[in-house]
Amino acid sequence: MTLLRAPKLPALMLSMFCALLLSACGGDGGGDADDYEAGLRKMQAHLDDANEASRASADSVDAGQRKVSLATAYRSLDKAAAAADALDPPDDARTAHNKLVAALRDYADLFKRLSELGENDPSESELYTEAGDIVKRMTAANASLEKAGYTASANEGS
């Protein structure tokens, strides 16, 4: 029996991460906190696009459409990582920010690999495990940003 499994785990994890918009509460040194916050909003817009595409892939029963949606999610994640990488974070956020960028790049790569998998590829389950590890890294980076005085908020203007 052949089952077409949608990549629901990465879609769920991306959805959880996209619920967070990082906004600056202060910071000394390094980049300007307001510029950093504006840049994070741009990154978030790309994450929102990736989340939408990821959900479409999870909901699709058509393998071809699923590949297209996963490729779209990959491109959006790649743009989010590039937008984050282009930011100059305040000094107190730099280490956590760099970890966030690395995790975003890894997540984009994971979605690219998912989009290139053949139907019912057995390596798909390994990618789900990898997705969980990447999301843990993103969550840890976010927690470090919060500890440094940057809070996670669903409100863009916070």
Residue spans of the domains in the chain: they are 8-16+30-148
Distance, in Å, from the CA atom of 118 to the CA atom of 92, rounded to the nearest integer, reads 43
Query: What stretches of 6-148 show up as alpha helix (H) in DSSP?
Result: 8-18, 33-59, 63-85, 94-116, 124-147
Predicted local confidence at residue 42, as pLDDT: 85
* Dihedral (CA of 99, 110, 22, 138) sign: negative
pLDDT tens-digit readout, 13-57: 565 555 554 444 444 456 777 787 778 778 888 989 999 999 998
Predicted local confidence at residue 110, as pLDDT: 95
CA dihedral in degrees (17, 79, 93, 132; nearest 10)?
Answer: 40
pLDDT tens-digit readout, 109-158: 999 999 998 887 888 888 888 999 999 999 999 888 778 766 534 343 33
